[in-house]
Amino acid sequence: MTLEAASSLIDKGFKVLPYINADPALAKRLEDIGCATVMPLASPIGSGNGIKNEESIKIIIDQSKIPVIVDAGIAVPSDASKMLEIGADAVLVNTAIAQALKPNIMAKAFKLGVEAGRNSFLAGRIDSKPIASPSSPEINLIDA
């Protein structure tokens, strides 16, 4: 149903920004028909349950040539940061801020979280290894 509705709206000249479950196949099909972005949910809207399907969201991000905006269910700044760290273009946060005990402070915390997440993505994380690997220098050490 989402695909058909999006296609109809695109045919009528609308820019479509579909809110979808974290379904990589659907996200790709929506991109292929001309959606301006895809907006996979982290968890049910307003639930505050955080990120429930990170691997599927990562697949959507990796295969997409259009912006990916993660929406819904984001509960804390670290959720938003994680989505930016794995390459999301943006997050949309409402309830986590609006229903916080101190919304102004929570909004500032989210600002810091998304900045940290985006900078982490741009900096490039180290490769994950199955075993320990020392990174301290072994030459030119200071004699004590």
Q: How many CA atoms lie within 13 A of 112 on its CB side?
A: 8
Question: What homologous superfamily is domain 2-123 in, according to CATH?
Answer: Aldolase class I (3.20.20.70)
Q: How far is CA 83 from CA 1, 5, 11, 101, in A?
A: 27, 27, 31, 24
Site of tokens 């509705």: 5
Domain boundaries, given as residue ranges, for the chain? 2-123
Show pLDDT as tens, one digit a residue, over the chain (144 residues): 888 899 999 999 999 999 998 999 999 999 999 999 999 988 878 887 788 899 999 999 999 999 999 998 899 999 999 999 999 999 999 999 999 999 999 999 999 999 999 989 998 888 888 887 777 766 766 766
Q: Which is nearest to 57 in space by CA: 16, 90, 106, 35?
A: 90
Helices (H), 22-102: 24-33, 54-63, 77-85, 95-98
Site of tokens 């994680």: 82
Instruction: List, in sequence order, every residue forming a beta bridge with 41; answer none if it has no partner.
Output: 71
